[in-house]
């Protein structure tokens, strides 16, 4: 099967113009089919502050009320998405920028939680495999913003890590899928304060051990949960590491490889 890279970049990369440009140049060098899923960065929060729209975060997740939904849709599916596409085009990488709502690429439902109301936050039900494949078949690199919709016309703010995982899983029957989570850290670290403590390979048993020892916490736990979920559903390989080291990540010379054993 043909190889496919599904790569997610986090907000800190998007907020730094030099890091973003460097990352995208490396992304363009990947000589096979590729999908880029991006987060939101700080721009949505900054715009909300200018508009005096209060923002609420619980466990690092944004509570998306009606006004915040308008902002994240404008910023994520608008400026950030098209800015990335424009840069890729400048590097001669034929690209298309989409949100999950376009062509029902990601059909979702509003999250239901027993104790919290996350607002207009979506959880994914269906990935439109045929549309993604059609774009890839004509050699378009796909750039996906973390906005989805339900089947009733409601837009939903959706976690970009989860989007990357769901797309990777859905396409694993058609491609040898490599899922890469790029962010500001060098990988999964045994000591969050020591950049040299990168764990080169992690399995579920080691993950549980690090969690019990409180050496892994906060945002890394859901990222690794997503990684193991992807591997269990047919994704070939999952890597986590620094956006500036994308080429080394692909070659297995940097970051953390998540293994299902």
Encode the chain (261 residues) as per-residue pLDDT tens digits.
Answer: 899 999 999 878 898 999 999 999 999 999 999 999 999 878 888 999 999 998 887 766 678 999 999 999 999 999 999 999 999 999 999 999 999 999 999 999 999 988 888 899 999 999 999 999 999 999 999 999 999 999 999 999 999 999 999 999 999 999 999 999 998 888 888 887 788 889 999 998 888 888 888 888 777 888 888 889 899 999 999 999 999 999 999 998 999 999 887
Q: How many CB atoms lie within 10 A of CB 230?
A: 26
CB 47 within 8 A of CB 18: no
**Domain with 123 in it:** 3-258
- In DSSP notation, 138-179 reads TTPEEEEESEEE-TTS-EEE--HHHHHHHHHHHTTTTSEEEE
Q: Rounded CA gap, 54 and 239, in Å?
A: 35
Alpha carbon distance 185, 197 (integer Å)? 11
CATH number of the domain to which 114 belongs:
3.40.1160.10
Cα–Cα dist 41/9, whole Å: 10
The sign of the CA dihedral 156, 188, 46, 77 is negative
Quickly list DSSP for 224-246: HHHHHHHHHTT--EEEEEEGGGH
């Amino acid at each position: 099967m043909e190889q496919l890279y599904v790569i997610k970049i986090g907000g800190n990369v998007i907020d730094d113009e030099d890091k973003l440009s460097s990352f995208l140049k490396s992304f363009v060098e990947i000589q096979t089919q590729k999908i880029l899923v991006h987060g939101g960065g700080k721009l949505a929060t900054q715009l909300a502050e200018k508009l005096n729209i209060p923002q609420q975060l619980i466990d690092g997740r944004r509570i998306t009320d009606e006004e915040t939904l308008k902002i994240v849709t404008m910023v994520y599916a608008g400026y950030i998405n098209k800015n990335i596409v424009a840069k890729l085009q400048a590097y001669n990488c034929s690209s298309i920028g989409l949100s999950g709502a376009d062509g029902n690429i990601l059909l979702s439902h509003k999250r239901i939680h027993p104790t919290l109301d996350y607002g207009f936050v979506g959880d994914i039900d269906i990935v439109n495999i045929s549309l993604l494949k059609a774009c890839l078949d004509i050699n378009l690199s796909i750039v996906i913003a973390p906005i989805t919709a339900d089947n009733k016309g409601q837009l939903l703010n959706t976690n970009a890590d989860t989007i990357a995982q769901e797309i990777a899983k859905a396409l694993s029957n058609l491609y040898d899928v490599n899922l890469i989570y790029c962010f500001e850290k060098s990988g999964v670290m045994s000591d969050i304060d020591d950049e040299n403590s990168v764990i080169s390979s992690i399995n579920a048993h080691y993950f549980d051990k690090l969690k019990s020892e409180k050496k892994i916490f906060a945002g890394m736990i859901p990222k690794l949960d997503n990684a193991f979920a992807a591997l269990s559903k047919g994704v070939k390989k999952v890597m986590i590491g620094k956006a500036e080291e994308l080429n080394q990540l692909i070659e297995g010379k940097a970051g953390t490889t998540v293994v299902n054993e």
